Amino acid sequence: MPETPKSPRRIADDHVVRVAALDPATSTRLGLHPEDDRQPDLSPDGFEALAEVARQTLTALDTTALVDDPAELDCARLLRERLTAELAVHEAGDHYRQLRNVNSPLHKVRGVFTMMPTDTAEQWAAVAGRLRNVPGALHGYRATLAEGIGRGLLSAPGRPAPPSPNWTPGRGERAAARAGSPASSRTGPPRCAPNWTPPPNGRPPPLPPSATGSPTPTCPPPTAPRTPSAASTTCAAHARRGSR
């Protein structure tokens, strides 16, 4: 007996289930399988497996039951458009050169932890297991980038520049202060201390030129103690002006 064709919505639901089974980050984002401790498969085979699911879903759409429901027709149209676009990007080899400062596979490995529940011992065990699987995910990511190099599919030269020095120096300064050590080894423009205050008119003072002639971000002189949030706002304003 031939199988009854599925509706577009049923095909879409099946697609989500299959993608979630292959991609633990998607599964966690949707609240499925909270005990899952896997990391995404970022190897070439992992990307190809997701692409194959998309191809099979498009094939299923070609054999879907004929319906007059506008919602079902919209579902089929939107699903086809999204999967066709995803496959076009995949066939172009974009996954071989996903080396960038934001929204890269590396960020998926890190970001999945922020979505994991941590209310029970079992959930914390899943977090620990997923941490142990980070090296494997990074190994797959490295293999994909290496394959891209071999194919001549390279990222733009400026993308690998790491932004981490702009994020982490404050942590090092605080750690040095707790240990009683000077933080004089830090390089780069000075950061605001917790007792900086913005000027009365709400505008930062002019920035003095550096030795190279470009403005150097500096913070206003310390006055009355302020909260860290006010200090952060002032420093951010100076950093923005200094980057122009």
The position carrying tokens 């000077």 is: 182
The position carrying tokens 């420093």 is: 235
- Could you give the CA distance from residue 112 to residue 9 in angstroms, rounded to a whole number? 27
Per-residue pLDDT of the chain (244 residues; tens, 9 = 90+): 556 778 999 999 999 999 999 999 999 999 998 889 999 999 999 999 999 999 999 999 998 877 788 999 999 999 999 999 999 999 999 999 998 888 899 999 999 999 999 999 999 999 999 999 999 999 999 999 999 999 999 987 755 555 555 555 555 555 555 666 544 444 444 444 445 555 565 555 565 554 445 444 444 454 444 444 444 444 444 444 444 4
Q: Which two tokens stand for residue 136?
A: 């494997």
Segments forming the whole domain that contains residue 199:
189-244
Q: How many CB atoms are closer than 10 A to CB 56?
A: 15
Same-domain pairing of 15 and 129: yes
Q: Which pLDDT does position 226 carry in this prediction?
A: 44
Q: Please tell me whether residue 205 adopts helix, strand or coil conformation.
A: coil
Task: Choose the final residue of a domain: 136, 151, 166.
Answer: 151
Q: Which pLDDT does position 89 carry in this prediction?
A: 96
Same-domain pairing of 87 and 201: no
Same-domain pairing of 54 and 133: yes
Same-domain pairing of 110 and 37: yes
Task: Choose the final residue of a domain: 151, 173, 198.
Answer: 151
Same-domain pairing of 109 and 46: yes
Q: Which pLDDT does position 66 carry in this prediction?
A: 73
Same-domain pairing of 140 and 196: no
Locate the DSSP E strands across 40-188. Answer: none
Q: Which pLDDT does position 230 carry in this prediction?
A: 43
Same-domain pairing of 103 and 224: no
Q: Which pLDDT does position 180 carry in this prediction?
A: 60
Same-domain pairing of 129 and 13: yes
Q: Which pLDDT does position 93 carry in this prediction?
A: 96
Q: Which pLDDT does position 119 carry in this prediction?
A: 92
Q: Which pLDDT does position 176 carry in this prediction?
A: 57
The answer as to whether 93 is a domain residue is: yes
Q: Which pLDDT does position 6 carry in this prediction?
A: 86
Same-domain pairing of 142 and 200: no
- Structural domains counted in the chain: 2
